[in-house]
Chain A
Amino acid sequence: MLLDLASNLLLLAGGFFFCAGTVGLLRFPDVYTRLHALAKADNLGLGCLLAGLALKADSLVQAIKLLAIWPLVLVASAVVGYAIAHRADQLGITPWQRDDR
């Protein structure tokens, strides 16, 4: 009962962070700020989602398998985030700046 509640809350939180990350992707002004939104919000969203699913898992090994996905995706998104930012920088894309300064 309590486990179900915790699991559902985590799943909802995961969905929320994925939505927030997507809103950031659409609203933020340039490639660098968008990478921030995607990497960080999706990282937390996926963590919540997998933790929520692991609580619903049928067996321990299934729960471990779900939780093991998190670090694997983290490694990929951390490295890809840097790779895209690095390439954008090499191409000479200047970061967006606030005008009213």
Chain B
Amino acid sequence: MIRGKSDVKIMIGCLLRRTVGFALVWWVATEGNFTAWPLAVIAVAVTVAVSLRLLPPGSTPGLSLSGMAGFVGYFFRQSIRGGFQVSRLALQRQLQLRPAILELPVTLPTGLPRLLLIATLGLMPGTLGVRLEDDLLYLHVLDTGLPVVEETAQLSGHIARMLGVNR
């Protein structure tokens, strides 16, 4: 798979970043206690190997940090709104649900961007991804009066910016 010099560079950078990242996770998980360090070395090595297999270096070439900050911020705000909204719906004396299945066209590229969209939608206000067929997303919505089409478009935009892909 590795062909030129630049590929080797990408590979080494990727290895370094992931090793440091997973070592940090170990540090946090053990609360800074390194007495079991041989285990840590094995765990980090295995995790890096698995991650290279599942997400090869260069598979998210356009990953943008500012885009990620935008996505996380949006996700955070919308999670809070979604939690409040569904709590209100659950605790109302009379159930005010008006559920429906909506079909929306998806323009995000297949693979990770679409997967991220459909999984994330389940935590956003009033939406739940049900099926993805060709370029159509089947979305279960709690209330047909909610602005789910606009919000799904906003979420798609944030995902596209974060991963550096076209919407």
Contact = CB atoms under 8 A, between A and B. Distances in A.
A82 B101 contact: no
A59 B98 CA distance: 47
Contact of A97 (B25, B29, B80, B100): B100
- Chain B interface size band reads 35 or more
B134 interface: no
A20 B86 contact: yes
Contacts, number: 127
A95 B32 contact: no
A43 B82 contact: yes
Interface stretch (B3-11, B52-60, B105-113, B124-132): B124-132
Interface of B: 25, 27-29, 31-32, 79-80, 82-87, 89-91, 95, 97-101, 118-126, 128-131, 138, 140, 142
> Top 7 nearest A-B pairs by Cβ distance?
A44-B83, A24-B90, A20-B87, A81-B122, A78-B119, A40-B82, A40-B86
Given A36-B142, A59-B32, A86-B130, 11 more contacts: A24-B90, A32-B99, A33-B99, A36-B122, A43-B82, A44-B83, A75-B119, A77-B122, A86-B129, A89-B131, A89-B138
